[in-house]
Each structure stands twice: as C-alpha cells, then as structure tokens.
Amino acid sequence: MAESNHNPTIVAAIIGVIGSISVAIISNWDKLTGQQKIADSTLTQPIAKTAYPPLDKEKPEVIPPTPLIDISGDWYNPAAPTAGGTHIEQQNDSFQFQGWGMLAQGIGYTSKGSGNLIAQTLTYDYTAQYQNGWVSKGNCTGTVTPNGEKITATCTDTIMGTYVSAGVRQ
C-alpha cells in the first residue's frame, strides 16, 4: 500500500481553525469582557449642528495688479544736467539702457546695461568704457517715483566703488 502524506492538509486545516477562532474572539471581545464598543455608541448619536453665520453673497474685492511704471525715454543727472545722459528702452518689466557722460575728473565714458523693474524697485547691471581705456562693471538697486519721473539708485562699481545715482526724465 502506498502511503500518502497528509501533513500539509492537516497544517492548513489547523491554521484555518485558529484564524476563525481569533476573528470570533476579536469581534465579540466586548461581550466577553463586558465592555461596550465605543464605535457603536458614537455612530448612533446624532451629529450636533453648528450654527454658522450666513455666507456673504457679495463678491470678494479684487485687487487690481500694480500698474507698470514706464521708464522708457531719456534721463539726465540733476546734479550735472549737461554732463551726460541715459536712454532707456523698456519691455514689460525688463529694460536696457545706454549712457554717456563726463566724470568730474574730465574723463568721458559710455555705458550699457540691463535690468528689471518690479513695482517701484529696479535692479540693473552695467559695463562702462572710459576714454582712458578703463572698463568697469557695476550693479545698482533703487527706486522709481510712482509717476515714473525720478530714479534714485545705490550702485557698486569695480572702479568707482559705491555711489548714489540719480536720474530725472527729460
């Protein structure tokens, strides 16, 4: 007679019985210990209604975007109106410029650069070429008046150091 191996079948049956008993004990734990299920009592209680004020049916105030200040055009330094100038061309919040002038020491220069204008704050970088052969680079941060008629900026230059630049629209 051939002997068959029933061990795997017996093990599976024992695991099934233990699982069924475990599920029955867990689901009836409250009856076995005398404790009431918390979930049952909270689910059957009515939910209290909270009184909220009525919704305001008016539309919320829409804050319009800050109008873009136009700085395009020709500018000069009010402290030295005949010593040079700058021409600015603006596209949205970006701008490019070319400048020319004479330093107090009698050295002529040209400059060109570009920057951004966000609300009334402008930032820009430039390169300046001097008649004596010097070349400097600089960056500036400043403000524009709301009417776009005056610019004041603090600049840092590789040759000139830190200085304040002012411009008035022509």
Per-residue pLDDT reduced to its tens digit, 22-50:
666 676 666 766 666 555 555 556 666 66
pLDDT of residue 12: 63
Lookup: tokens for 9: 């079948």
Report the SS3 class of residue 30.
Answer: helix
Q: Nearest Cα to 85, choosing from 104, 111, 67?
A: 111
Q: Please tell me the pTM assigned to this model.
A: 0.62
Q: β-pairing, 150-157 with 135-144?
A: antiparallel
> 48 or 137, which is more confident?
137
**Domain range summary for the chain, segments of one domain joined by +:** 73-169
Report the SS3 class of residue 97.
Answer: strand
How many CB atoms lie under 10 A from the CB of residue 157? 17
Max mean pLDDT among 17-21, 38-42, 91-95 falls in 91-95
**For 140-156, what is each residue's pLDDT tens digit?**
999 999 999 999 999 99
* Angle value at C-alpha 149, between 93 and 77, nearest 5 degrees: 105
Q: How far apart are CA 134 and CA 113, in angstroms?
A: 17
Q: How far apart are CA 138 and CA 161, in angstroms?
A: 9
CATH T-level assignment (fold) for domain 73-169: Lipocalin (2.40.128)
- Asked if residue 18 has pLDDT above 80, the reply is no
* Whether the Cβ atoms of residue 141 and residue 130 lie closer than 8 Å to each other: no
